[in-house]
């Protein structure tokens, strides 16, 4: 009976993890930015501009990357390409884990449960690397001070604000559920191996 409960919760957490990954990486609110400023030619009019950036596409972020260097653009595409490959590998690992767990039911093979659990853990680790690479990109490459100085040439009052969006916060939740599902299925596989 306890084994059935562990399998149920493992499947539930695995499905939640995959669903959260798909919503997080498929939506375009990883980065939210606001610009507030009074610029030349406008009489006491305060402009408020909202921007957002998705995981794969940019709506605004290219404005705060150092634009005077062509090398940064080469780095940008290699970097994004690298985390896109990690994301694709994570999706493959999560889908493979789901199929392995479906094939393992009901208690057919401890090896399939262990392989499915290992695949869920691999997906969680790969998605963790993707999120860490994104945070490094936002914190290290974006030069907000240069962007603000550039905008201050035209605007006598200007203040940008950059925040992580709701899409960004869904990814760690998906990682948590994927790792938890992987651990549960590894325990189930071990239990079946020992007791059956």
* Domain range summary for the chain, segments of one domain joined by +: 2-195
How far is it, in rounded angstroms, from Cα 144 to Cα 118? Answer: 40
Instruction: Write out the H or E segment, with its range, that includes residue 178.
Output: helix 166-195
Residue 29: which of 173, 132, 168, 139 has the closest Cα?
Answer: 168
Most confident of 134-138, 141-145, 166-170: 166-170
Q: If you average pLDDT over residues 151-161, what whole number do you get? A: 72
pLDDT in tens, 51-100: 666 665 554 444 444 444 455 555 656 777 787 788 889 989 999 999 99
pTM: 0.77
| Residue 32 DSSP class | E
Q: If you average pLDDT over residues 145-166, what whole number do you get? A: 74
Return the structure tokens found at 23: 């919503």
Return the structure tokens found at 178: 């994927």
Strands (E), the chain: 31-39, 47-53, 155-164
| Residue 159 DSSP class | E
Q: Is the pLDDT of residue 153 over 90?
A: no
CATH architecture of 2-195: Up-down Bundle (1.20)
pLDDT in tens, 33-45: 777 776 666 555 5
Q: What is the CA radius of gyration of the chain?
A: 22
């Amino acid at each position: 009976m306890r084994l059935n409960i562990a399998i149920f919760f493992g499947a539930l957490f695995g499905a939640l993890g995959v669903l959260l990954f798909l919503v997080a990486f498929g939506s375009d609110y990883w980065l939210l930015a606001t610009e507030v400023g009074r610029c030349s030619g406008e009489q006491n009019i305060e402009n408020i501009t909202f921007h957002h950036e998705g995981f794969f596409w940019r709506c605004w972020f290219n404005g705060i990357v150092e634009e005077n260097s062509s090398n940064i653009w080469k780095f940008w595409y290699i970097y994004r390409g690298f985390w896109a490959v990690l994301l694709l590998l994570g999706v493959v690992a999560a889908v493979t884990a789901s199929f392995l767990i479906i094939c393992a039911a009901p208690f057919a093979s401890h090896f399939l449960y262990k392989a499915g659990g290992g695949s869920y853990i691999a997906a969680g680790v790969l998605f963790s690397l993707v999120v860490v690479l994104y945070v490094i990109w936002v914190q290290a490459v974006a030069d907000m001070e240069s962007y603000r100085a550039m905008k201050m040439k035209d605007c006598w009052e200007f203040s940008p604000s950059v925040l992580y969006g709701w899409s960004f916060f869904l990814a760690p939740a998906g990682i948590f559920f994927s790792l938890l599902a992987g651990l549960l299925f590894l325990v189930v596989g071990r239990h079946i191996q020992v007791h059956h």
